Amino acid sequence: MKINVSQGEIQAHEADTLIVNLFDDVTTPSGATGAVDKALDGAISELIASGDLTGKVGEVGVVYPRGAVPATRVLVVGLGKRDLFDLEGVRQAAANSIKQAHQLKAKNVATIVHGAGVGGLDVQTAAQATIEGSLLTLYRFAATKKESEPPHEIESLTVVEFDGSKLAAIEAGGQQAQAIAAGVAVARDLVNMPPNVATPTKMAETAESIAKEHNLKITIGDRAWAAEHNMGGFLAVAKGAGEPPKFIVLEHNADREDLDTIVLVGKGITFDTGGISIKPSAKMEAMKSDMGGAAAVLGAMKVVGAMDLPLRVIGITPCTENMPDANAYRPADVITISNNTTVEIISTDAEGRMVLADGLVYATRYNPKAVIDLATLTGACVVALGSNMAAGLFSTEDSLRDKLVAAGTAVHERVWPLPLWDDYKEAIKSDVADIKNSGGRFGGVSTSAMFLKQFIDYPWVHLDIAGMALSETENGYTPRGGTGYGVRLLVEFLRNWA
């Protein structure tokens, strides 16, 4: 879908479908909705008066101008209560209206920026949210199956603004939105792909193409490379894998050591069977999303490159399958991580922390101002917070925690702080090694974070995204399947850094 920005009156616009909006307290629309209402000889006011249009959230009224304006239909999307309205309301309004337009097989759609007029939001961020909401909603994974007819595609979305002085801001917001939506699509695609396609090799190829497109430095470490780096945790998990493991490092502004360095680390288990500590077969297919952290990091690196952010940003994604195999690592094995910490394996299903341990140690070499890891790490996190509610957040610094909470709220990719008290260390004490890789069922989300904490020596945030990477239900602008969770959060955090 082509995105355009155009100055003019929306009622005069040559599109088949116009999108305007309505707060729930309006009786006589003003602004762009008012202008359309006038051109339609009061049709919208009439529908409000009759109670057919209420402006509540989720409502999309369809009005047929029948020649009164060039468009064949006008969609009036509800914005709900004025004092509850925010950027998420903009994205939801965009989602609801573009879904309706798509269903009605619209080809060329014109919309106003939701929230920029009467909503009182900053024009650029409102424009970004309007376009981002639309693009994220229309995302579809190209499934490998026969379709009876090709899926309908909207050809263009034009943002129409009457006030010429706002055009540059809308253009800028539109560019950001397109960069972000493209990054989210990469992450969603990787999660949606079947695990025989989204292999570590595919992750590496995706990283390669991002590196090429945005001029990032790339390193792809294979088994031998990982062995040279003494990455015992990563290699232990990869031992049973048929697919070759890949330890991927992307670097934006690689040689700019004068810039603040932020490292992003993503768990990249392309399929988690549990290994020898094998998982039950029910719902095991969901474990294709166990590379959701890595997918988010790759998607974020694409956006970082596209926006050319004035930071040195490093993306590290240790990618491997976790399989049961004659060569697989076993419970009772003792493994040495690249910082010489020894780990007693209790469960081979606690594999994420094993590959992250080497990822976190590797991050040290960049002398980072902050390291953020994202991992579909524990079922316990989903039990605590629920599916698609929030990522569990653990941090060594309150200021970092606050920045992530703020970023999460702004983009509606929520994070919620959970405790990392020293007492959790007790649960991962081992008789035979420095620590063990499972602290048992109770407090499993915090003991996993405590495990990771043994490998950091910089300001750090761990995000347990176990409930976030995959969704069984469609939710606003997030279709069923891979959510791309984390991309927008990371980009928002990085854009606001300093």
Selected from 132, 189, 243, 272, the binder of ligand BES by CB under 6 A is 272
Choices 34-42, 71-79, 346-354, 453-461; region in contact with ligand BES by CB under 6 A:
346-354
480 as an active site residue: the answer is no
Options 444, 481, 482, 484; binder of ligand BES; rule CB under 6 A: 444
Say which residue the tokens 């809308």 belong to. Answer: 170
Under the binding rule (CB under 6 A), the answer on residue 351 touching ligand BES is yes
| Region from 209-217, 303-311, 375-383, 475-483 binding ligand BES, contact rule CB under 6 A | 375-383
List binders of Zn ion among 341-380 (CB under 5 A). Answer: 352
Query: Which 457-476 positions form the footprint of ligand BES (CB under 6 A)?
Result: 466
Residues 6+ apart with CB under 8 A from 79: 21, 22, 23, 24, 55, 57, 85, 89, 93, 114, 115, 119
Q: Does 273 bind ligand BES (CB under 6 A)?
A: no
Q: Identify the residue whose tokens are 């499972």.
A: 438
Site membership for ligand BES, residue 378 (CB under 6 A): yes
Q: From the list ligand BES, Zn ion, Mn ion, none, pick the one residue 379 interacts with, judged by a Cβ distance below 5 to 8 Å according to partner type.
A: ligand BES
Q: Is 353 a catalytic residue?
A: yes
The whole-angstrom separation of Cα 315 and Cα 249 is 6
Q: How far apart are CA 233 and CA 352, in angstroms?
A: 9
Of 33, 192, 253, 376, the one binding ligand BES by CB under 6 A:
376
Between 257 and 285, name the residue whose CB sits nearer to ligand BES: 285
Q: Smallest gap, in angstroms, from Cβ of residue 441 to ligand BES?
A: 8
Q: DSSP per residue over 440-484, as a string?
A: -STTHHHHHHHHHHTT--S-EEEEE-TTTSEESS-BTTB-SEE--
Stretch that binds Mn ion, among 269-277, 308-316, 378-386, 469-477 (CB under 5 A): 269-277
Pick the closer one to Zn ion by CB: 269 or 468: 269
Q: Where do we find the tokens 């034009």?
A: 158
> In this structure, what token pair is assigned to residue 252?
């934006």
Give Cβ neighbours of residue 172 (< 8 Å, ≥ 6 apart). 124, 127
- DSSP secondary structure, 25-60, as one string: T-SS--HHHHHHHHHTTTHHHHHHHHTS----TT-E
Unique residue bearing structure tokens 């939001």: 121
Residues 94 and 137: beta-carbon distance below 8 Å: yes
User: Using CB under 6 A as the criterion, which residues of the chain lie in contact with ligand BES when the complex forms?
Assistant: 272, 290, 347, 349-352, 376-380, 382, 438, 444, 466
User: Using CB under 5 A as the criterion, which residues of the chain lie in contact with Zn ion when the complex forms?
Assistant: 269, 272, 290, 352
Catalytic residues: 279, 353
